[in-house]
């Protein structure tokens, strides 16, 4: 009797999850989870107004990778501007401007933080876009050679 109740409970649990032994929904779910885990999460919210960013430049470093510099203003000294993520795909690169905790122990002059990042594996990029969330802050060309 106990075995039958246990078997019914397992069958009900699998049915509630939308899984059965005859389909591939478990493997589809695993594949979707792997695809989501492989795609990097990008910042989707922008903490900066247009007037709170300036001075964007792009150049190349000694290895030919793209180096981006700019400034971001944050009035709350508990935080600082940061270029936290980057990606390079083919001839273009992207960097994301974000707000990070100010772990320096200091403020920035007039609350304007110098932000820099070097995009790894960006030797083929001819342009870089600075994004704040989904908003384009700057689109820069890269001179090579």
- Rounded distance between C-alpha atoms, residue 114 and residue 50, angstroms: 16
For residue 17, report the phi and psi dihedrals to the nearest 5 degrees: -85, -5
Read off the pLDDT of residues 76-135 as tens digits, 9 standing for 90 and up: 999 999 998 999 999 999 999 999 999 999 999 999 999 999 999 999 999 999 999 999
Of residues 86 and 10, more confidence is placed in 86
Q: Say whether 104 sits in a helix, a strand or coil.
A: coil
- Rounded distance between C-alpha atoms, residue 49 and residue 97, angstroms: 12
Give the pLDDT confidence score for residue 143 in this predicted structure: 86
Domain segments of the chain as ranges: 2-38, 50-141
Q: How distant, in Å, are the alpha carbons of 9, 56, 71, 80, 103 from that of 109?
A: 65, 18, 11, 12, 16
């Amino acid at each position: 009797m106990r075995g039958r109740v246990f078997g019914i409970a397992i069958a009900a649990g699998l049915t509630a999850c939308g899984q059965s032994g005859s389909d591939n929904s478990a493997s589809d779910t695993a594949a979707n989870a792997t695809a989501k885990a492989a795609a990097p999460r990008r910042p989707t919210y922008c903490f900066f107004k247009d007037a709170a960013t300036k001075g964007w430049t792009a150049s190349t470093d000694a290895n030919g990778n793209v180096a981006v510099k700019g400034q971001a203003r944050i009035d709350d000294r508990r935080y600082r501007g940061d270029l936290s993520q980057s990606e390079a795909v083919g001839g273009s690169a992207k960097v994301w401007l974000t707000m990070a905790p100010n772990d320096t122990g200091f403020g920035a002059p007039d609350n304007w933080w110098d932000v820099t990042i070097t995009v790894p594996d960006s030797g083929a990029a001819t342009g870089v876009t600075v994004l704040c969330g989904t908003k384009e802050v700057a689109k820069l060309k890269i001179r090579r050679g």
